[in-house]
Amino acid sequence: MLGRLISQVYSLDLRVFRLINRGLTHPILDQFFNIVADGRLWTPFLLLAAVYLLLRGKDRTKAWVILTVLSIAIGDPLISNPLKHYFHRARPYQSVEGVREVSPGSGQNRWTPAVRLSGIPEGDVSNGRSFPSSHVANAVAAATSARLVWGPSMRWPWILVALAALGRVYTGDHYPTDVLASIPLSILYTWVIAQISNRLWKKIGPRVFPKLFARLPSFLHSR
C-alpha cells in the first residue's frame, strides 16, 4: 500500500517535472533562470546590500536583515545540508534520461546559459543533493522573515519564492516535490529562529543597543 502510494507520488512528480523542464522552454527563460540561480553572481551583491541596510536602513529593515541572515546562516548548514546528505536524492539530471539541464556557461561565457540533455543514468548516485532545495529554502527564509517583521501585508517576497521554486525545476536541478517540501521546512525553522532571536534581543538589546531598542523593542510585528 505504502509502496504503491510512493510510486504514484513519484510518477506525478516526474510528470509535473517534465511539463516544466521540457514543456515550458524558451531561450529567454533559459537566460532568466540561469541568472536567477547563479549564486556566484548574487552572493556578493546580497552581502553588500545586507551590510548597507544594517548601517543605513530603517529599524524594521535592520530587523528583517538580521532574521534573514540568521535563518540562512543556521538553516542552510545545520538543517538543509544534513538533510541532503541523509536522503541522498539524486538530482533529476543525474537520475533521469532526457532532462534539460540549464547551467551557467564557463569562463567568459558565464552569462550565456549552457543547455544539455542528460543521458542514460549510469547507476545509483551516492552523493545526490536534490532534497531539500537550499535555493528555495533560503528564499523562503527571507520571505518568512519579512512576514514576521512587517506583518501579513508583506506578500510580494513570495513572488520571488515562486520564481526560485519554478526556476529550480526549470533548470533540471530539482523535482517539484523537492521545492514544495522545502517551503514548510524553511517556514518552520525560520519561525523558530525568529522567536529565539527576538527573546535574545529583548534581553541584550536594552544593555547593548539602548537607543535602537527604544525604537525597536521587538523584531516581530505585533497584531
Quick: pLDDT tens for 51-83: 999 999 999 999 999 999 999 999 999 999 999
Domain assignment present for 223: no
Q: Is the pLDDT score of 223 beyond 80?
A: no
Cβ-contact 137, 166 below 8 angstroms? no
Domain assignment present for 48: yes
* Type of residue at 27: P
Determine the 3-state secondary structure of 3 from DSSP. Answer: helix
* Type of residue at 218: S
The pLDDT assigned to 222 comes to: 82
Q: How many CA atoms lie within 13 A of 140 on its CB side?
A: 24
Domain assignment present for 222: no
The angle subtended at Cα 19 by Cα 14 and Cα 21, nearest 5°, is 85
Domain assignment present for 24: yes
End-to-end Cα distance, the chain:
45
Domain assignment present for 152: yes
Number of domains present in the structure of the chain: 1
The angle subtended at Cα 188 by Cα 184 and Cα 189, nearest 5°, is 125
Backbone angles phi and psi of 153, in degrees to 5: -70, -15
Backbone angles phi and psi of 117, in degrees to 5: -105, 135
Which residues span the domain enclosing 194?
A: 2-215
Domain assignment present for 221: no
Our measurement of the distance from residue 217's CA atom to the centroid of its chain's CA atoms, rounded to an integer in Å, reads: 29
Residue 192 banded pLDDT, cuts 50, 70, 90: very high
The pLDDT assigned to 126 comes to: 64
Angstrom distance (rounded) from CA 113 to CA 109: 8
